[in-house]
Amino acid sequence: MAGEPTPDQIASGEFVRVDGAALREQMARLFVALRVSEEHAAIASDILVASDLRGVDTHGVVAGLRYLDQIESGLIDATVTPRLVRESAGSAVVSNAGGLGVVGAHLAMRTAIEKARVNGIGHAGVVEGRHIGMVGYYPMMAAAQDMIGMAVTNANRSVRPARGADPRFGTNPIAFAAPAGTERPFVLDMATSTVAAGKVRRAHALGLPIPRGWAVDAAGRPLETPPGGRDTSWALTPLGESSDGEGVNYKGYGLAMMVDILAGVLAGGGSSADLDYGSNMSWFMAIDISQMRPVQAFKADMDLLIRYLAETRPSDPARPVVVAGDPEADAFEYRSRAGIPLHRDTLATFRLRARTLGTPSLV
Ligand SMILES: NC(=O)c1ccc[n+]([C@@H]2O[C@H](COP(=O)([O-])OP(=O)(O)OC[C@H]3O[C@@H](n4cnc5c(N)ncnc54)[C@H](O)[C@@H]3O)[C@@H](O)[C@H]2O)c1
């Protein structure tokens, strides 16, 4: 399966499979050791491990280890509780107060869902936010309640606008989920850059080249060697860039701007230009399907639509047409059985962390 280590990498011990439940518990214990409440630690570790289970390794426990560093350095305040600072019947503003971003995001999505249940639609913005991880987690919370969910988040500058050489946007992802009946839910979860920054970071860490079109240098020339740091000497490209650096990237640029307006400008948390590394301002929306039509009818139509797409004649018979969310749902099914592959260095970091923080080593 794509994204899985090869049998050789497992046999050599380069990657080790770890049980998802044990990893969730380990991550939670480490947060608690740094004064995160039990409740927040459970929410955060569930979101992080869900990401690993879905094959989104860049935003899973590897990001969780980064959060531990950021709690220790003071970038994240482990002790605060996010709260509603403004509210109407259909909307809310959540202050994350510089705490764990995933916890504030979880509260905002819960609030949007509660408001949708009453009003048909609900939305919530987050200010003073920190990194919220795999954005698809939040609209999936709505889909699990028979609602359509949407979430967007901005980030500090790493993506150039079309025709620009300097970074002006974060990778500003958009996530959208809708439930189906017997088919799996549709879950579109995508950066508005050609790829998420984590993929360049991962390629750098593993010493692998990156495809032309993912990133450019300060003169706008495509890069094939992934840069290590985060500075203005290079930029990620907006969605639609081609390998010659001249695609239809103005569409990704427009989407990045749309995200910045919803996530940063609407509630006033700040657009990409205002943000430091590790900050995410976000916006969440839920639509209660039952207030438009019977949920079963909606789901039956979703099933028909998904099957219609899956039955499209594939251009390569070996690669059937799927819908967004399918690759991650496949990874989830496989990893729930086989375990999550952690790089041996990541595993070593977990064990060292458990030892130095005086918590049991569970993985
Ligand atoms: N918190 C942040 O600051 C931040 C920033 C950027 C990205 N992210 C996260 O990074 C993760 C990765 O983002 P990405 O843009 O690299 O994702 P990606 O390119 O791997 O996938 C994007 C979407 O395309 C779908 N997809 C993949 N192959 C498909 C196919 N053949 N047919 C149909 N659909 C298909 C996937 O299901 C997914 O919904 C996401 O979870 C995102 O939320 C987070």
Residue extent(s) of CATH 1.10.1530.10 domains in the chain: 1-75+339-363
Q: Would you say 175 and 189 are in contact if contact means Cβ atoms under 8 Å apart?
A: yes
Ligand 1 near 171 CB (within 6 A)? yes
Rounded to whole angstroms, the Cα distance separating 349 from 337 reads 24
Question: What type of residue is 351?
Answer: R
Name the residue at shortest CA distance from atom 13 of ligand 1: 190
Q: Which two tokens stand for residue 120?
A: 């048909």
Ligand 1 near 52 CB (within 6 A)? no
Q: What is the pLDDT of residue 112?
A: 98
State which ligand 1 atom lies nearest to the alpha carbon of 131: 1
Rounded to whole angstroms, the Cα distance separating 335 from 331 reads 6
Rounded to whole angstroms, the Cα distance separating 131 from 303 reads 34
Long-range contacts of 43-49 (CB under 8 A, 24+ apart): 43/102, 43/103, 43/106, 44/100, 44/102, 44/103, 47/102, 47/106, 47/133, 47/134, 47/137, 48/24, 48/102, 48/133, 49/20, 49/23, 49/24, 49/340
Ligand 1 near 151 CB (within 6 A)? no
Ligand 1 near 195 CB (within 6 A)? yes
Q: What is the pLDDT of residue 230?
A: 77
Tell me, in angstroms, the distance from the centre of ligand 1 to residue 195's CA: 8
Instruction: Specify the DSSP element, H or E, that contains 216.
Output: strand 215-217
Rounded to whole angstroms, the Cα distance separating 347 from 355 reads 12
Rounded to whole angstroms, the Cα distance separating 353 from 65 reads 9
Residue extent(s) of CATH 3.30.1370.60 domains in the chain: 80-191+248-336
Rounded to whole angstroms, the Cα distance separating 101 from 278 reads 9
Name the residue at shortest CA distance from atom 1 of ligand 1: 133
Q: What is the pLDDT of residue 107?
A: 98
Note the residue count of the chain: 363
**Helix/strand/coil for 222:** strand
Rounded to whole angstroms, the Cα distance separating 277 from 169 reads 12
Ligand 1 near 177 CB (within 6 A)? no
Q: What is the pLDDT of residue 220?
A: 84
As its CATH architecture, domain 80-191+248-336 has 2-Layer Sandwich (3.30)
Tell me, in angstroms, the distance from the centre of ligand 1 to residue 254's CA: 18
Going by the DSSP 8-state scheme, the letter that residue 193 receives in this structure is B
Q: Would you say 16 and 307 are in contact if contact means Cβ atoms under 8 Å apart?
A: no
Tell me, in angstroms, the distance from the centre of ligand 1 to residue 186's CA: 13
pLDDT tens for the chain, 363 residues: list them.
Answer: 778 999 999 999 999 999 999 999 999 999 999 999 999 999 999 999 999 999 999 999 999 999 999 999 999 999 999 999 999 999 999 999 999 999 999 999 999 999 999 999 999 999 999 999 999 999 999 999 999 999 999 999 999 999 888 899 999 999 999 999 999 999 999 999 999 887 888 899 889 999 999 999 888 888 999 988 877 789 999 999 888 777 889 999 999 999 999 999 999 999 999 998 889 999 999 999 999 999 999 999 999 999 999 999 999 999 999 999 999 999 999 999 999 999 999 999 999 999 999 999 999
**How is 340-352 classified by DSSP, letter by letter?**
EEEEHHHHHHHHH
Q: What is the pLDDT of residue 206?
A: 86
Q: Which two tokens stand for residue 165?
A: 């050489």
Tell me, in angstroms, the distance from the centre of ligand 1 to residue 354's CA: 31
State which ligand 1 atom lies nearest to the alpha carbon of 155: 3
Q: Would you say 149 and 69 are in contact if contact means Cβ atoms under 8 Å apart?
A: no
- Under CATH, which number does the domain 1-75+339-363 receive? 1.10.1530.10
Q: What is the pLDDT of residue 226?
A: 92
Q: What is the pLDDT of residue 236?
A: 93
Q: Is 343 a catalytic residue?
A: no
Tell me, in angstroms, the distance from the centre of ligand 1 to residue 294's CA: 30
Q: What is the pLDDT of residue 2?
A: 74
Going by the DSSP 8-state scheme, the letter that residue 268 receives in this structure is S
Q: What is the pLDDT of residue 64?
A: 98
Ligand 1 near 324 CB (within 6 A)? yes
Nearest-CA neighbor of 253 among 270, 231, 236?
236
Ligand 1 near 329 CB (within 6 A)? no
Instruction: Specify the DSSP element, H or E, that contains 199.
Output: helix 197-206
Instruction: Specify the DSSP element, H or E, that contains 353.
Output: helix 344-357
Q: What is the pLDDT of residue 168?
A: 94
In testing the pocket of ligand 1, which one of 62, 130, 174, 190 has its CB within 8 Å of the most ligand atoms? 190
- Report the predicted TM-score, pTM, of the whole model to 2 decimal places: 0.96
Ligand 1 near 26 CB (within 6 A)? no
Query: Buried (b) or exposed (e) across 63-76, using 16+ Cβ within 10 A?
Result: bbbebbebbeeebb
In testing the pocket of ligand 1, which one of 47, 57, 59 has its CB within 8 Å of the most ligand atoms? 59
Q: What is the pLDDT of residue 198?
A: 79
